[in-house]
Structure 1
Amino acid sequence: MEAITYPTGAKRAILVVTAISCALLELIDTTVVNVSLREISGSIGATTTEIAWVITAYSIANVIVIPLSGMFSNFFGRKAYFTSSVALFTMASLMCGFSTNLWILVFWRFIQGLGGGGILSTSQSIIMDSFPPHKRSTGLIIYGMGVIIGPSFGPVLGGYITDNFSWNWIFFINIPIGTMAAYLSWSHVPDLSGVEKPRIDWPGIFCLVVGIGSLQYVLEEGSSKDWFDSSEIIWCFITAITFMVAFVIRELKIDYPAVNLRLYRNFNLLMGNGLNLLIGIILNGTLFAFPLFAQLSLGWTATQTGAFMIPGALISIPAMIVVKTLQEKIGLNPKIIIMLGMIMTAVPLILISFSSPDSNSSNFFWPFILRGFGALFMLMPVLGLATAGLTGKDLAQAIGLSNMLRQLGGALGVALMGIYINQENAVVRSSLIGNISQYNPQSTETIASYTQTLQNSGMGPDEATSAAHQLIDSALSKQQLLISYDHSFLIAAFTVLLCVPIVLAIRYKKQPHSKEMDIAH
């Protein structure tokens, strides 16, 4: 059997830099648009509801392509597919910047998402294939750092560009980077050896596109349409379930599946992907909730919130070094590293859940630093354990499945956090409002004090009384939001515990290695 060779030196460095640059380009673009939606909607004349499609279209295209990227890589060749994905993403970015109409922009965002989905999984497999198995954690750590840093820097970068230039430049900035990345990709990315050109499973692809696309639409748009009170969401959910079941049945029956679900016979891959789903729910759900909490409950500006998130993202660099040392130098069991990551993720959430109206950035700085460490400690070893022993086309397919589940987990986390906060708001308000009555001396005195102050400022008795009640209602609303978000962070902390049985179930056996096993070229 021919020995597997791995790149070294400058060749490996160029490969890794090319792949991580492309991944960062895609990951930043998932969030860079969020803070510019108001300016975009004003420029192209779209409503608040309509402009949300700029984000939804990208997410749907992303999650459709990610699981198929392994098959496309095998069919077209990894070099051609990766370079084409970068070129498609870059070209779509240019067209997004030139768009003057909502639906033209949505169309090009969808095309951009198709290119981005191909970039994300293929770049990860390129990085992992650049290292021998016993050093694969290095590749995972480099990729994981991009996964964390990219979405965190997106809002800050988007806000700065929009404030100082125009929203079009959040897309134009991709052009020089994408062009250089496409050149480097075509020049240096190798094709996988020994891979036969597969048959295309068109019915399977159709079922996946309709099923996953419908599910992502439900998760993205459900909250704005009151979930299952909307017939549109109900039909999309039924469609998602029907086509996903059809997809699974077909893929398990045929010899040339678009997505090789038989890989889930690998117990570790099954457990690892389940863990990926839960991690996506926890990390994305809390990342969605905190900016809203800071702005609505504590009065932070969008710029303050975005800037605050940066140190927690940058901490992934020293965290990367720590994880690499623990795995490669000390040889610590990856399951222990994941469990440490869970603790470092849960503890900050518990601390944040005790926030008060007087809380400020200094109260959250160290919890977010600890969370940054925890996120990397969880993310990195998971994929390494799940894909242990997989190489070539099986590795590419496994990475596509893992990324798809993490992406769906992120959308699910945002949706679940939104549902919980909305429902908790109603529960907390009904509990608090009972304290405001004529039978509560404290509330009566507060209303009387407000009324008197307003009358002294020139208001009439009736007007002052009405304004006093509005002030009380405003204070109540702010308090209920604060309590609801505190409860949501506490629930997220306990949700981390759901990951423990999965981690314990993953099988780990330390593999000895020798340098003679790796032939560098």
Structure 2
Amino acid sequence: MTTTTQPTDITYPTGSARWILLITAVSCAILELIDTTVVNVSLREISGNIGATTTEIAWVITAYSIANVIVIPLSGMLSNLFGRKLYFTASVALFTFASFMCGCSGNLWVLVAWRFIQGIGGGGLLSTSQSIIMDAFPPEERTTGLVIFGLGVILGPSFGPILGGYITDNFSWHWIFFLNVPIGVIAAFLSWKYVQNLPGITKPRIDVWGILFLAIGIGSLQYILEEGTTADWFSSNEITLFFILAVIGLTAFVIRELSIDYPAVNLRLYRNFNLAMGSTMNLIVGIIMTGTLFIFPLFVQVSLGWTATQTGAFMIPGMLITVVGMVIVKKAMEKGANPKIIILTGLALTVIYLVMLSFSSPDSNSSNFFWPFIIRGIGAILMVMPVLGLATAGLTGKDLAQAVGLSNMLRQLGGALGVALMNIYLSHENAFVRNNMIPAINPYNPVSTDYVNSITQSMAANGYGPDESARLAYQLTDSALTKQGLLVSYNHGFMVVGLIMLLAVPLILLIRYKKSDAPAAVIDAH
């Protein structure tokens, strides 16, 4: 059966009211997504300023991510409970106040506590923003809503490192948080004025056990993904404990939600095959987008010596090209193009971008990466927009809010999973590459001997004694070996991610597509 019918009493905002509403919602979504990555490049400065260790400062990211991923799937239920206007405005206000308090924090655990509260507010922004944007259009114009939200999904995480790097290099880390305050105040005012409650929504019964199981399961899983690499995974009793909690919590959550009439998260929506496929693809998009975005700044800063500001500025053209990609996708979707073809094209372009990066050398510079990132920008939007459409096709009102919450949660988890997997891979690959390169440094290899001798002679010419010159020569050789090893590991990482992405092709081909005269996404619901 095909689900495209809509209630006749729904009214949609028009004119300036619609555009103010859209700007408010997408600004809040971008704010939330920026704050998932903006702190990453500033951790070193923050840790030095507040006296935290490298391990402790990671909690600034972990606390936000855990709160975020717990609240996102609950946002549909909370929106119905309090009314969308009140819930969204309160989320903006909480996010803004917590941002201000983060900037004022002078102690690690105070900062971590406020980051957790900021994540609670931010979790309410992302999914509610998407449902607000998509509910602002009738079904035949929903592609426009997908374009607008897709812009936020692509630009938010990408602008985070740029903004964080610039502020870190030129101002104080406190301004990473203070910058949210004026934007948040304006957004809260506009939200209260222009966001409307969904019609015909009755207050739901509170599924306390479902919320509790979700918080335990998803919170524990996010903690494992964030902290697993640092704790050496299952060699840590703490990670093992949280893994057990995650399995118990998620299992109990699924059983609970499928057995009651008032679930906190309506998992029954995923009886629809395409909705389930869309959410699964959201997980994959999160792994790809965040995983590759995580590895590139590390690669150019560690192996090629770029600054945080250089790295961020370089990524701007690739992000701007997504606007061109959006226009192309919007027109194609409105003409009824098969979403599978669009997603596969985006996948192919992303694979090409990763393969191109995998041939980097110590002499590579920004000109070598320009076209790969242009290709990435177009490929990303070709994947993101049809996937967003699949994950919400044919839904309105509270069902749309529930589907949006789950698909966004999966994308967030996908991002954490992508970073965790890349960390694991790079750690093992770097050890493997280094172990294979070290034997080449020996007295019988003329290349390494000439290299060491040239450095030794240079040190001697600068006034160092024979022993000191030899010691410094081997230290510099080891440093060069480490840098080369990291470069090879990153190159292998890009290639492996590109090849693994091809495994998504059969999944994409399983998507059920039924061409319709309506340009809105249509689902074949079996």
- The TM-score normalised by the length of structure 2 is 0.94
> In structure 1, what is the Cα distance between the partners aligned to 2:124 and 2:262?
20
> 1:217 — aligned with what?
223
Pair 1:227 & 2:233 matched = yes
> 2:515 — aligned with what?
510
> In structure 1, what is the Cα distance between the partners aligned to 2:173 and 2:371?
33
TM-superposition CA deviations, 1:318-374 (whole Å, max 9, x none): 22111111111x332121111111111110110110001111000001110110111
Correspondence list, 1:7-46, <5 A: 7-46=13-52
> 2:495 — aligned with what?
490
> In structure 2, what is the Cα distance between the partners aligned to 1:467 and 1:41?
31
> In structure 2, what is the Cα distance between the partners aligned to 1:392 and 1:343?
35
Give 1:26 shift. 1.2
Equivalent AA in structure 2 for residue 406 of structure 1: R
2:248 to 242, 248, 253: 242
> In structure 2, what is the Cα distance between the partners aligned to 1:238 and 1:246?
12
> 1:467 — aligned with what?
472
> In structure 2, what is the Cα distance between the partners aligned to 1:369 and 1:296?
23
TM-superposition CA deviations, 1:257-294 (whole Å, max 9, x none): 11111111010111111111111111111100001100
> In structure 1, what is the Cα distance between the partners aligned to 2:459 and 2:32?
54
> In structure 1, what is the Cα distance between the partners aligned to 2:169 and 2:486?
29
> 2:203 — aligned with what?
197
> 1:518 — aligned with what?
none
Change (3 A) 1:81 1:274: same
> In structure 1, what is the Cα distance between the partners aligned to 2:455 and 2:166?
41
Equivalent AA in structure 2 for residue 257 of structure 1: P
> 1:391 — aligned with what?
396
Give 1:161 shift. 3.1
Equivalent AA in structure 1 for residue 191 of structure 2: S
> In structure 1, what is the Cα distance between the partners aligned to 2:488 and 2:227?
26
Give 1:224 shift. 1.3
2:484 to 467, 476, 479: 479
Equivalent AA in structure 2 for residue 85 of structure 1: S
Correspondence list, 1:13-412, <5 A: 13-328=19-334, 330-412=335-417
Correspondence list, 1:408-487, <5 A: 408-487=413-492
Equivalent AA in structure 2 for residue 16 of structure 1: L
Give 1:151 shift. 1.8
Change (3 A) 1:447 1:247: same
Give 1:100 shift. 2.0
> In structure 1, what is the Cα distance between the partners aligned to 2:90 and 2:178?
19
> In structure 2, what is the Cα distance between the partners aligned to 1:77 and 1:163?
42
> In structure 1, what is the Cα distance between the partners aligned to 2:371 and 2:129?
32
Give 1:3 shift. 4.3
> In structure 2, what is the Cα distance between the partners aligned to 1:477 and 1:94?
41
> In structure 1, what is the Cα distance between the partners aligned to 2:467 and 2:168?
45
Change (3 A) 1:503 1:192: same
Query: Bigger CA drift: 460-469 or 264-273?
Result: 460-469
> In structure 1, what is the Cα distance between the partners aligned to 2:302 and 2:170?
25
Contact 2:140 2:519 in 1 (8 A): no
Query: Bigger CA drift: 425-434 or 108-117?
Result: 425-434
Segments of 4+ in structure 1 off by > 4 A? none
TM-superposition CA deviations, 1:411-448 (whole Å, max 9, x none): 00000001101101111112112222233233233333
Equivalent AA in structure 2 for residue 12 of structure 1: R
> In structure 1, what is the Cα distance between the partners aligned to 2:96 and 2:479?
46
Change (3 A) 1:350 1:437: same
> In structure 2, what is the Cα distance between the partners aligned to 1:159 and 1:387?
35
> In structure 2, what is the Cα distance between the partners aligned to 1:258 and 1:398?
12
> In structure 2, what is the Cα distance between the partners aligned to 1:104 and 1:473?
41
Query: Bigger CA drift: 256-265 or 47-56?
Result: 47-56
Query: Bigger CA drift: 434-443 or 87-96?
Result: 434-443
Q: CA RMSD in A?
A: 1.6
Change (3 A) 1:126 1:245: same
Contact 1:282 1:495 in 2 (8 A): no
Contact 1:137 1:381 in 2 (8 A): no
> In structure 2, what is the Cα distance between the partners aligned to 1:296 and 1:123?
36
Query: Bigger CA drift: 128-137 or 463-472?
Result: 463-472
Contact 1:97 1:172 in 2 (8 A): yes
Change (3 A) 1:134 1:496: farther
Equivalent AA in structure 2 for residue 334 of structure 1: P
> In structure 2, what is the Cα distance between the partners aligned to 1:254 and 1:28?
37
Q: How many residues matched?
A: 514
TM-superposition CA deviations, 1:370-415 (whole Å, max 9, x none): 1011111100011212321111111110010100000000000000
Give 1:514 shift. 9.9
TM-superposition CA deviations, 1:181-230 (whole Å, max 9, x none): 11111111111112221111111111111111111111111111111221
Equivalent AA in structure 2 for residue 56 of structure 1: T
Change (3 A) 1:451 1:44: closer
- The TM-score normalised by the length of structure 1 is 0.95
Equivalent AA in structure 2 for residue 332 of structure 1: A
